[in-house]
Amino acid sequence: MSFEWMYWTVPTAIFFITIALMLTGMLVWELVSPTVERRGFLRIPTTRGTRFFIGLLGAAYIHLAWLGLTDLNLWFALPISAVWLVIIMRWG
């Protein structure tokens, strides 16, 4: 029986380490300052964690759209995704 292993590149490892660090940061933030549900421009009651999840999903879709609609390097989508995440976390 043979197993196919995923080849971990440096960018892949950085991506998963960054997500783990952001989740750890969210946990510490929640323990220090518990969140309160609020309504932002999303028009649904959200907590900090909900907005973070929605922001990460949006960032994933931004990257997929970038791949599907442009021939430019994927690294150019990173600042757009970061701005999206900040907007969702602050005003979402």
- Helix (H/G/I), strand (E/B), else coil: 92: coil
Q: CB within 8 A of 35, min separation 6: which ones? A: 47, 48, 49
- According to DSSP, residue 75 is labeled G
**pTM above threshold 0.95:** no
- According to DSSP, residue 4 is labeled P
Instruction: Give residue 66's pLDDT.
Output: 95
Instruction: Give residue 57's pLDDT.
Output: 95
**Interatomic CA distance for residues 76 and 69, integer angstroms:** 13
Q: Which of 28, 27, 53, 50 is nearest to 40 (CA)?
A: 50
**Interatomic CA distance for residues 64 and 76, integer angstroms:** 12
Comparing 5 with 78, the larger pLDDT belongs to 78
Give per-residue pLDDT as tens, 8-58. Answer: 788 888 889 999 999 999 999 999 999 889 898 888 999 999 999 999 999
Q: Domain segments of the chain: what residues? A: 10-91
Instruction: Give residue 1's pLDDT.
Output: 55
